[in-house]
Structure 1
Amino acid sequence: MYKVIVTDPISASGLKALTEHDAFQVEQRVGLEPEVLAEVIGDYDALIVRSQTQVTRDIIQAADRLKVIARAGVGVDNIDIDAATEKGIIVINAPAGNTIAATEHTLAMMLALARNIPQAYGSLTSGKWERKLFKGVELYQKTLGVVGMGRIGTEVAKRAKGFQMNILGYDPFLTEDRAKKLGIIKASLDEIAAQADFITVHTPLTPETRGLINAEYFEKTKKGVRFINCARGGIIDEQALVDAVNSGQVAGAAIDVFEHEPPENPGLTQNPKIIVTPHLGASTTEAQEKVAESVSEEIRDILTSGSVQHAINLPHISATVKQKIKPYLTLSEQMAELLMQIFKKAPKTIKINYYGELFLEDTGLLTRQMIKALLSYYLDSSINIVNVMQVLKAHGLSYSVQKMPHTKDLPISLN
């Protein structure tokens, strides 16, 4: 029996893949203090969280039985990925489940920002009638800069075109060809700063994107620009935003996510030119069911059949490629085990060659499988395909992979 603990509010109907499966026992223990979670986590095979639970190194170190940490949503900055990887625990998320909800919330925030809707509502409900005070601007023929052209950024751009906005898109992976197909213009961050009337942020929070929109960037922007952030707190420097709004460089902002939640900067939350919502981007009935269904089904598949789809700390392999390399997974492990029995000494370097039909395939999983088998002969059984590369590095070992189009008797060789 696999035991699953859920520590944040999750749609009950979305958990049916686990709750209606005979091999799973699901316990919902929402709001556990970190020290309590650390005490009990050793009894579970999987952990499901949203954004509230902080899955720290201390909690992960206590999770001797845990095989999967699932984030019912997209961002995983509340999970210590390095600690999970070292422990051999797969971290998964639900990258597509809240796309529509976050997209629609972004558009709602942009419209509310353009037309001063929250401010006008507050004024009217307090007994005032101040039509002239809340004159807004149109989206029509304005320029929208989309920073981050992943799933959500792309959907925002598509819908903004319905308002006949001109779209500038920035993403390190955005090609001219894809931009053309989307009907947008590929642009740099500086080009967006110089031209955009609205700028919306849709990047993940990483060391590279933390503080991406800062005081220096605000100085480059078109005067009177408006910012929207429904992605992750920390991408926009909050105090720099407050200063830019107060100076008039930025006309206003709509913020759904914060560096600290609940937010701690009253200059942000009490500024009449800044609209704020309490991280509602994914808060729709439909989105919560979708993300819960996604992670529940993947936990079931990982624990019962070893099938992984959305791992954060494993190389992504498409279903087609996985089917092609499936016969070689057992072969690669057997080859490694045979090699260790023949040489009976630990390797200093590992060289893996792929030939023929494997030349064009993604062989990352095969490589991990072989290295795991080699190291497992001398090291403990806690090594798996999740943490094998960190174990390799920790022991000062090196490896290389070479691919050749010509065929040999075996499509794989180890040296």
Structure 2
Amino acid sequence: MLSRAAVAMSGLLVLACLGGCGEQPGSGRVTLLPAAAQDGAAQDGAGLPSAPPTPPTGPTGPSGTPHLAASPSEAPSIRPSGSPPVRPSGSPPMASPMTPPGKPALVSSLAEASATGAALPVTGPPRFFVAANLPAARFPEGSKEAVITPVPPSVHDAATGRFIAAVPLPPGVESSWKLGAAAPDNRTFLFSGTSPAGTRFFRVRLGDDGRPGAPELVPDTGARVPGVVPALALSHDGSRFAFADLVPGGSVVSVVEVTTGRRRDWHSGDALVTGLSWAPDGRSLAVVSSPQGLGVLDLTSPEKDLFAATRILRPASGVPPMTSVAYTPDGTALVYAVGYAVERIPADGGVPALLAKPEPPKGASLAMRFDVDGTGRHLLFTHAWRMHRLDLRDGTTSSVRIDRGDLPRGSVSPDAAW
């Protein structure tokens, strides 16, 4: 039986294998349960990591926490129990840890990366939020066979946390992954999900009662995303989204057209990109990365190197970790968190100003992953199956329990967007 520590250590490999890698020698197997499996099957086991991986800097990561490398002999591969190992057709082989990483092939099938259509209208304070979770995982007593329960995203009442409905998964998507993104109308959302070929994306619109419509699967982008998507953002007009992908040699930031799947890539070298946000005019993208910090990517730039086209506004050196960012509704400033201190900085550069400093929940990570609603006033973050709401105008906070209804509930809290 693998311990909870072993599950955490092998989390990256587990998530990568959710995209379709074969079984490693000596590894366990994984049984896939139906999404409607009983909640208890996913509740009493160890969960997968809730935060994106941190690149090592010596024996510890930048936050000071130990950086744990996964052992292929310990990490189970993800496939239905009893099936032969399968590698998706056309997918590249996994890089050997002994092979120096090379620069990834970049795609430029999207002629215009900007999203300059009319922004979807803001409907007032958020009435709903959506929660996206990793597939739930547990290891039965005495077994090295992990049981994975697919988990769909879910819609909740923003005031009470009440469960409203599960978001349907489109054909070919087996489970949601960790992230969702929202347009400013509080009705249009984008999700990442696991599939045999890697991560796929789909858009969902909510009715006035919060009930989700049929999911719209984004055409195959051609990106072989293994499952570790540390950042996701939807443009204000809903026509494009941006995501970060971990690749050998660093990260790639991609902008994708929702209706066609065409995309444009930027390579970020050895940086880890953890936060993205679209400017309201759709011509730039705020980027949070380690070890660089907070910057603004010019989407009209011909550069393919991310940081050749990005102006750094807030260097990360000497400050607590940063993971999330959001433009203000007028596009003149950026809101971000340094640890749990929420700051604001002009979009063209300047002196940061402190907006709020909420008390971190007990046991919370060192950095706040958040989402800001279309009004620019309400900030949302989650921890321990609670939704925390921060009013950026007066700094007051409140929280409600996230009700899962009959959906599986693992030991890892979901991320949320509104």
TM > 0.5 fold call: no
TM-score, normalised to structure 2, is 0.25
The higher-RCO structure (CA 8 Å, 6+ apart) is 2
Larger Rg: 1
TM-score normalised to structure 1 length: 0.25
Larger proportion of helix: 1
